């Protein structure tokens, strides 16, 4: 009996010893991916983060947070490449769109997959040109409506930000309306005044409406926001502040 007990203990010890490195490797990879995510403002780190989360997917192919981060990373890199490498930017948006879709399939009750599928699709359509943009905008609209039905405040009132831009840029003959754009923009700013993107898009609507004085106030407020006002969106905050500063300069001429 004692020998059988000793044999069982040895077997258990062996199994634990074998399992521990696997757990450690998994934990280490998650920590590495998360650290690279935090450093994503550096596009080299962002590329490494994509690789790290892809590696995590081998063990967790249906992990919502992993899929969502991949969608966001491709969206982030795509935005940064648009001015210098259109084809690479489109490739990132295509992948980001697919990861967003997978995330919403894994967790249909959560808003993130729908929102970032829409974000990638919108940038992809915009980069391809007017015809593609008009053709795909209804899909983007539906995804944002779905996001809003789950959580209207998601990503600092992202759906309202989208509809602000949507009604600003859509031609009047196709339903564009600065009045509606301003309504959505104000709603976003009131809910999350510390996100520069909300103020930037509201300012664009004001410019379209010929109210540069109000646009200037929003843009100056955006430029004055701390980079770290929202901990999950520091790189995005800096990008939006830069866009705000550029628009402020254009309308000030």
pLDDT in tens, 170-184: 888 778 999 999 999
* Sign of the torsion formed by the C-alpha atoms of 179, 184, 185 and 189: positive
- Cβ–Cβ contacts within 10 Å for residue 22, how many? 10
| Among the listed residues 250, 247, 228, 246, the one whose alpha carbon sits nearest the alpha carbon of residue 238 | 228
What is the pLDDT at residue 135?
67
What is the pLDDT at residue 14?
38
117-165 pLDDT, tens per residue?
Answer: 999 999 999 898 765 566 678 899 999 999 999 999 999 999 999 999 9
Query: 153-253 maps to which CATH number?
Result: 1.25.40
Find out whether 119 and 128 touch, Cβ atoms under 8 Å.
no
pLDDT at 3 over 60: no
Q: What angle do CA 101, 107, 113 make, to 5 degrees?
A: 35
What is the pLDDT at residue 10?
43
Q: Which fold has domain 40-151?
A: 1.25.40
pLDDT at 52 over 90: yes
Find out whether 143 and 117 touch, Cβ atoms under 8 Å.
yes
What is the pLDDT at residue 173?
78
What is the pLDDT at residue 88?
98
pLDDT band at 26 (very low <50, low <70, confident <90, very high): low
Find out whether 125 and 137 touch, Cβ atoms under 8 Å.
yes
pLDDT at 195 over 60: yes
Find out whether 71 and 103 touch, Cβ atoms under 8 Å.
yes
What is the pLDDT at residue 136?
76
Q: What is the mean pLDDT of residues 210-229?
A: 97
Its pTM stands at 0.87
More confident residue, 27 or 5: 27
What is the pLDDT at residue 12?
44
pLDDT band at 28 (very low <50, low <70, confident <90, very high): confident
Mean pLDDT (the chain) is 90
- Residue intervals of the chain classified under CATH 1.25.40.10 are 40-151
What is the pLDDT at residue 252?
85
Q: What angle do CA 239, 146, 143 make, to 5 degrees?
A: 55
What is the maximum alpha-carbon separation in the chain? 91
Annotate 170-233 with DSSP letters as a single string.
S-GGGT--HHHHHHHHHHHHHH-TT-HHHHHHHHHHHHHTT-HHHHHHHHHHHHTS-TTSSGGG
């Amino acid at each position: 009996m004692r020998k059988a007990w000793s044999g069982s203990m040895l077997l258990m010890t062996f199994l634990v010893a074998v399992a521990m490195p696997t757990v450690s490797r998994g934990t280490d990879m998650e920590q590495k991916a998360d650290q690279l995510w935090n450093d994503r403002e550096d596009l080299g780190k962002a590329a490494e983060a994509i690789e790290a989360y892809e590696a995590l997917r081998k063990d967790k192919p249906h992990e919502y947070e992993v899929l969502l981060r991949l969608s966001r990373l491709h969206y982030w890199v795509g935005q940064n490449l648009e001015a210098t490498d259109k084809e690479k930017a489109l490739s990132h948006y295509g992948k980001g769109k697919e990861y967003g879709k997978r995330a919403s399939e894994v967790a249909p009750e959560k808003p993130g997959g729908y929102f970032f599928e829409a974000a990638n699709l919108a940038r992809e359509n915009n980069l391809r040109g007017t015809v593609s943009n008009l053709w795909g905008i209804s899909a983007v609209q539906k995804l944002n409506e779905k996001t809003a039905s789950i959580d209207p405040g998601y990503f600092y009132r992202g759906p309202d930000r989208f509809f602000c831009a949507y009604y600003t840029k859509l031609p009047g003959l196709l339903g564009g309306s600065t009045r509606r754009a301003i309504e959505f923009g104000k709603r976003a700013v009131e809910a999350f005044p510390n996100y520069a993107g909300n103020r930037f898009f509201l300012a664009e609507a004001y410019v379209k409406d010929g109210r540069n004085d109000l646009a200037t106030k929003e843009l100056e407020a955006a430029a004055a926001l701390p980079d770290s006002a929202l901990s999950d969106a520091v790189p995005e905050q800096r990008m939006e502040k830069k866009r705000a500063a550029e628009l402020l300069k254009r309308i000030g001429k």
